[in-house]
Chain A
């Protein structure tokens, strides 16, 4: 059975999720990455047509086609490295009330703390699988912050069963990729010892 999270996201929908679980998202989703985080945190500016509160964001820079009638077609949209947003994410969560952050790979301690404190999760979308993601975007209904260029702009979408999303940070302070990293480091220590 597919576990589906729908926006607006409540704490109730997230509280039983564990790091490593697979979920899907239905509802509204906006891309927001390096420049978008800077705008929210440093310049205190929020998008006009997208409510982060109870919402979901995607660390991604898509390829979008603008059609002759001004509508958009989502061509290809996979995740970008979430770790780059680590310095800003905790503050972003606190400030906006965002409940789900989707990206590539994991995030670190500060974000893990914020997820626990404010009841949010970070999920990893399989890196590079951009057509699977585009296929789940039902409508790209708007864009803001185009002054950043196509990859960094804030694209607003309706998505249906968007995923698979692997919970990487849950609301209880568990962090999948940090755990994996410990296991990988042990292997590397073994390898070095053999040199």
Chain B
């Protein structure tokens, strides 16, 4: 019972931290991009973004008011002592963090639009499970899915003949139509698979990966590099006012696919991409992997 409360507290604190502090990789990249804008609105807007990050830390408040819908990606060892009550702890921590950080209560019930008031509702928060046979530890990844940055998301199945050119065209058009309102520079995740659903899932995985890492597949890594340069040449960042870049990074995840289809998924994160991972051992020692801030800050 006590342990259950302890795990809930760890998770609630983790949610709070992710809402206040950008992960190290995102903040580092923003600082790099900011240093490229030497004048005008581009420079001013990055100035605001950096000031905002500092103020959020100072006041201990969510750095953006849209703290999103909470999405958890859980990897749990089958011998983790609290595996049976883990879901309950995540839900309880979500509600607690919402009311006490506080986060914005975003979750509305499906089709009814009624706001539940605590970010908990029918199948919300969103939780994806992965089991680690024999393991006794736990990893919880959190992504705060804001509205503006989720809007560009889409997936489509292309004809294989459309090839890599078709993929690129689809990405350019999506970023042109929807990028400005998603608070660029964007973290762009591209998933390539067989159907709309798996491609979308791969694109989500792509933005959970830290900036600076590359696709394991050689061709995927090449596409990342090309798309990043090409999207940057449009220059929609910062915040649609125009500048030298458009993206924080482009990440591609791909999988062997059906010869008759070429599925493409696109998921975008904003400059305020808030994600993090807490790794917890069987004795409930917790460690953040994407934030240097200490637990309890």
Taking Cβ atoms with an 8 Å cutoff, the residues of A that contact B are: 20, 22, 60-63, 65, 75-78, 80-81, 83, 104-106, 124, 126-132, 134-135, 148-152, 164, 166, 177, 180-181, 183-185, 187-188, 190-192, 195
| B115 CB, min distance to chain A CBs, angstroms | 3
A126 touches B49 (CB 8 A): yes
* Choice from A22, A104, A185 contacting B148 with Cβ under 8 Å: A104
Contact of B183 among A128, A132, A148, A177 (CB under 8 A): A128
Contacts A61-B65, A75-B61, A76-B62; is A126 near B45 (CB within 8 Å)?
Answer: yes
In Å, the complex CA distance between A195 and B242 comes to 24
Q: How far is the CA of A134 from the CA of B115 in the complex (A)?
A: 23
Quick one: closest A residue to B147, CB to CB? A80
- Contacting residues, chain B, for A192 (C-beta < 8 A): 169, 172
In the complex the two chains form, is A105's CB within 8 Å of B61's CB? no
Q: Does B260 contact A (CB under 8 A)?
A: no
B44 at the interface (CB under 8 A from A): yes
Q: How far is the CB of A75 from chain B (nearest CB, A)?
A: 5
Query: Which residues from chain B sit less than 8 Å from chain A, CB to CB?
Result: 41, 44-45, 48-49, 51-52, 55-56, 59, 61-67, 102-106, 108, 115, 117, 147-148, 151, 165, 168-169, 172-173, 176, 180-181, 183, 230, 233-236, 238-242, 270-272
Q: A149-B117, A151-B115 are in contact. Are A126 and B239 (CB under 8 A)?
A: yes
> Would you call B180 and A177 a contact (CB within 8 A)?
yes
Q: Tell me whether A187 and B235 are in contact in the complex, defined as CB-CB below 8 angstroms, given that A63-B65, A63-B104, A180-B240 are known contacts.
A: yes
Q: A81 and B104: CB pair below 8 A?
A: no
Instruction: State whether A131 touches B55 (Cβ < 8 A).
Output: yes
A128-B272, A184-B176 given as contacts; is B148 within 8 A of A134 (CB)?
Answer: no
**Contact between A191 and B240 (Cβ–Cβ < 8 Å)?**
no
Task: Please tell me if the beta carbons of A127 and B239 are within 8 angstroms of each other in the complex.
Answer: yes
Q: Is the CB of A105 within 8 A of B117?
A: no
Set B62, B173, B271: member contacting A130, Cβ < 8 A: B62
Q: Look across to chain A and name the residue whose beta carbon is closest to the beta carbon of B172.
A: A188
Q: Once bound together, how far apart are the Cα atoms of A8 and B238, in whole Å?
A: 32
- Distance, CA A192 to CA B175, complexed state (A): 13
CB pair A195–B48 under 8 Å, yes or no, is no
Q: Is the CB of B65 within 8 A of A60?
A: yes
- Alpha-carbon distance A93/B270, docked complex (angstroms): 30
Q: Which of B55, B62, B115 contacts A135, CB < 8 Å?
A: B55
User: Are A104 and B183 CB-contacts (below 8 A) given A61-B104, A128-B49?
Assistant: yes
15 further interface pairs, Cβ-Cβ under 8 Å (given A61-B104, A184-B242)? A61-B66, A62-B65, A75-B65, A81-B147, A126-B239, A128-B239, A130-B63, A130-B64, A151-B115, A166-B241, A180-B241, A180-B242, A188-B176, A191-B168, A191-B234
Asked whether B148 lies within 8 Å of A187 as measured between CB atoms, the reply is: no
- With A63-B103, A149-B115, A192-B172 as given contacts, are A184 and B66 in contact (CB-CB < 8 Å)? no
- 20 pairs, CB–CB < 8 Å, chain A vs chain B: A20-B41, A61-B65, A63-B61, A63-B62, A63-B103, A81-B148, A105-B240, A126-B52, A127-B183, A128-B52, A128-B183, A129-B51, A130-B65, A130-B66, A132-B51, A135-B55, A180-B241, A188-B234, A192-B169, A195-B165
CA of A181 to CA of B103, assembled, Å: 33
Q: How far, in whole Å, are A185 and B235 apart by their CA atoms in the complex? A: 11
Q: Which residues of B contact A135 (CB under 8 A)?
A: 55
